[in-house]
Amino acid sequence: MSVGFDHMALDEIQKRGIRVGYTPDVLTDATAELTVALLLATARRLPEGVEEVKNGGWSSWKPLWLCGYGLSGSTVGIIGLGRIGLAIARRLMPFGVKRLLYTGRAAKAHAAEVNGEFVPLDTLVSESDFIVVSCSLSPETQGLCDKPFFSKMKSTAVFINSSRGAVVNQDDLYEALSSGQIAAAGLDVTTPEPLPTNHPLLTLKNCVVLPHIGSATYSTRGVMSALVARNLLGGLRGTEMPSELTF
C-alpha cells in the first residue's frame, strides 16, 4: 500500500514470477501538501513557536525572536520534478517564488508550467534558498545529500526531504545543521523508520522530523486501500491489476 517499492526484494520477486501491485498517482496531492506544510513549518520555525507558548518562553515582543525565512522572492530548487515534484512546485509558486530550479535525469516538458529552469545539481544546491528532495531512491540517488552537498548550500538555506530517507546521509546532515552550515531541515522520511528517539537529529531545534505521513489524509488512504484491494483481486483472479509494477 505505497507508491515506493525500494523496500522490496525486486530481484527475488522477479525471479519467482510474483506479481506486484502498488499505488502510484493517488497520493501525489496529499504528499505535495504535506511537503509544503513541512517546508513552511521548518522555515518559519512553527514547532519552536508552539513549544515556546507551552513552556512560558513567550514574553514581551522582541524584533528577531523566532524569525525564519520566507518564500516570497526566493529561489526554490526541486530535486526530481516528477509527479510529486511538479505538484509541490505548483503549490509553491503562488507564494511569490522568484525562480524555480530543478534537476534530474533530463529536462521535463511540463516544467514550463511552473517556469522551471533545468540546471546541474551543483547550481541548484548553491543558488537555492529552499531545496526540496522529491526524487525516487535509486543507486544514483542513494546518499546523494552528503557532506559535499550540504557544504555547497547557502548558510540561510532550508533543506526538505519527503522522498526516501536513504537519499540523505543523516550524519552529514546533523553536522551541517549543528555547525550552522545550513539554516534548517525538515524530514518526513528517515533511516531507519521509525527513527530512534535518541537519534542526534532529534536534539536539534532547527530540524523538524515527521513520522512519514506524506499520504496521511483520510481520503487518500481510502483511495489507496481501494486500489490495493482491486490489485489483490486482480492477482487472485489472474486478471489485470489496475496498478501493476512492471519489471
pLDDT in tens, the chain (247 residues): 998 888 899 999 999 999 999 999 899 999 999 999 999 999 999 999 999 999 999 999 999 999 999 999 999 999 999 999 999 999 999 999 999 999 999 999 999 999 999 999 999 999 999 999 999 999 999 999 999 999 999 999 999 999 999 999 999 999 999 999 999 999 999 999 999 999 999 999 999 999 999 999 999 999 999 999 999 999 999 999 999 999 8
Q: For the whole model, what pTM was predicted? A: 0.94
How confident is the model at residue 6, as a pLDDT?
83
List the beta strands (DSSP E) in the chain.
75-79, 99-103, 116-118, 130-133, 158-161, 184-187, 207-209
Give the per-residue pLDDT at 123.
98
* DSSP result, 88-103: HHHHHGGGT-SEEEEE
Strand partners, 160: 132, 186
Residue 4 has a pLDDT of 84
In one-letter notation, the amino acid at residue 164 is R
- What does the block give as the cell for 64? 528577531
Bridge partner list, 14: none
Q: What is the pLDDT of residues 148-167, one digit of tens each?
A: 999 999 999 999 999 999 99
Residue 85: which of 168, 23, 29, 41 has the closest Cα?
Answer: 29
**CA 212 – CA 164 distance, rounded (Å):** 9
**Active site residues per annotation:** 212
What would you measure as the largest C-alpha separation in the chain, in angstroms?
68
The total number of residues written for the chain in this structure: 247
Q: Is the dihedral of CA 93, 95, 101, 102 positive or negative?
A: negative
Say how far apart CA 150 and CA 77 lie, in whole Å.
14
User: CA-to-CA distance for 88 and 36, rounded, in angstroms?
Assistant: 7
d(CA 247, CA 13): 10
Nearest to 66 by CA among 40, 48, 41, 93: 48
pLDDT digits (tens, 9 = 90+) for 187-232: 999 999 999 999 999 999 999 999 999 999 999 999 999 999 999 9
| Domains, in order of start, for the chain | 28-48+69-215 (3.40.50.720)
